[in-house]
Amino acid sequence: MAQIDAVFKAYDIRGTVPDQLDAELCRSIGAAFARFATEGRDRPRVLVGRDMRPSGVELSAAFAEGVRSQGVDVVDLGLCSTDMLYFASGREDAPAAVFTASHNPARYNGIKMCLAGARPVGEETGLREIKAMAAEGVAPTGPSGVAHELDVLADFARHVHSFVDVGALKPLKVVADTANGMGGLVVPAVFEGLPFDLEILYPELDGTFPNHPADPIQPENQADLRARVLETGADIGLAFDGDADRVFLVDERAELLSGSLTTAIVAAGILAKQPGATVIHNLICSKAVPEVIREGGGTPVRSRVGHSFIKALMADTGAVFGGEHSGHYYFRDNYRAD
C-alpha cells in the first residue's frame, strides 16, 4: 500500500500519485470512510466527485469500490468543484468525498471529505479514525452497494443565484481566470443569465495546468488576469484555484484585493441586510475586518485557521458568514461551506 502516513493531513488527504497515493490505498480509504460516515444511517450512501486531474478517474473509482464493499450506495457526481460537492452533501444530507489536490501541481491528488450536511471532516472530526481503519483494513460486509449518477451543476447555479437579487445586479465587464481548473465548468453555469459581460481565461479543464499553476494567491499566477483586466477595461477580475473553492479579486486598476478585504466587503454587504449578525474571521485576517464588521452593526468572532474550525464556530454561534485571508468564504446558507 502507498504511504498512508504521508497523505493524511490536518484537514484532508493529499499526496503524489502513485508513490504516496494509489488506487489500493484509495479503495481502503473509501471502505473506512463509508464505515465511519454512514454508521447508523438508513439507506446509507456516499457522494463521490472528482476534479479534472487525470489520476482522478482511477482513484475515485477505487474509492467508490471501497464504499460499495461496505454495502453503501455510491452517488457519482462526476466532474465537480469542491463547493458543488458541499452543496450536494448539504442538499442530499449525505456524506461526500471529492478527489482534488486544489492548487497543488499535476502530480498530486487528494481527497476532501465531509459528513452528511456538509459537516467538516478534519483530524479532530474523523480523519484520525478513518486513517486507523484504512491502515488496519475494513472487511467487506454483505451485498455490495449500488452506484448511480447525479448531475448537480444546474441546481448549484440556481442555488448561488438565490443569494442575490438578480434583478438588482448592474451590468459589469468581468474577466475570470479559471487556470484550467474546475472553475471552467462552474463559472459559465453560475454566470449564465446574469447581466455580466464575461470573459474566461483558460477555461479548458486540464489537470496538467499548461498555462500557469492554479494557485491564485501567488502574484505570478495573477499576471495574465491583471493584464487582461487592463486590456479590456474590465470592472473586476476573478482568479480561481484548481477546485474552485477559493477566489481572489482584482479591481478595475488590476490591483489585488486581499482575502481580508474581500471578507470585509462581503461582510458589510450581508450586514446591510442582516444587521446584528455574527461574522467569523480567522486570526490572520487584517485588523480592519473586525472593525468593518462592528461598524456594520455585526458581531465579529475570531477563529483558528482552517475550514473545520471556522465551520464548527459558525454552527456554534449561528454566524451568517465566515472569511479567511486565504480566499475561502463560508456561507450559512450554503451549509456553512464555500
User: Cα(232)–Cα(283) distance, rounded to whole angstroms?
Assistant: 37
Going by pLDDT thresholds of 50, 70 and 90, the confidence category of residue 11 is confident
User: Cα(247)–Cα(249) distance, rounded to whole angstroms?
Assistant: 7
Cell numbers at 239, concatenated: 482568479
Which pLDDT tens digit goes with each residue over 131-155?
999 999 999 998 999 999 999 999 9
Cell numbers at 211, concatenated: 498555462
CATH of domain 164-257: 3.40.120.10
Going by pLDDT thresholds of 50, 70 and 90, the confidence category of residue 124 is confident
Q: What is the pTM of this model?
A: 0.95
Q: What is the pLDDT of residue 1?
A: 56
* Residue positions annotated with a catalytic role: 102
Which pLDDT tens digit goes with each residue over 46-99?
999 999 999 999 999 999 999 999 999 999 999 999 999 999 999 999 999 999
User: Cα(146)–Cα(59) distance, rounded to whole angstroms?
Assistant: 18
Estimate the crossing angle of helix 82-92 against helix 153-161, to 10 degrees: 90
Q: What is the pLDDT of residue 299?
A: 98
Asked if residue 237 lies in contact with residue 229, where contact means CB atoms within 8 angstroms, the answer is yes
Going by pLDDT thresholds of 50, 70 and 90, the confidence category of residue 308 is confident
User: Cα(220)–Cα(322) distance, rounded to whole angstroms?
Assistant: 27
Question: Right CATH number for 4-154 from 3.40.50.1370, 3.40.50.1110, 3.40.120.10, 3.40.718.10?
Answer: 3.40.120.10
How many Cβ atoms are within 10 Å of 155's Cβ, its own excluded?
14
* Mean predicted lDDT score pLDDT of the chain: 96
Question: Right CATH number for 259-334 from 3.40.50.720, 2.40.110.10, 3.90.1150.10, 3.40.120.10?
Answer: 3.40.120.10
User: Cα(64)–Cα(48) distance, rounded to whole angstroms?
Assistant: 7
Q: 244 by DSSP, 3-state: which?
A: coil
Q: Is the pLDDT score of 316 beyond 60?
A: yes
Which pLDDT tens digit goes with each residue over 216-262?
999 999 999 999 999 999 999 999 999 999 999 999 999 999 999 99
Q: What is the pLDDT of residue 307?
A: 85
Equal fold, 4-154 vs 164-257: yes
Q: Where are the domains of the chain?
A: 4-154, 164-257, 259-334
Helix extents (H) in 93-238: 128-136, 153-161, 183-191, 223-232
Q: What is the pLDDT of residue 170?
A: 96
User: Cα(272)–Cα(337) distance, rounded to whole angstroms?
Assistant: 21
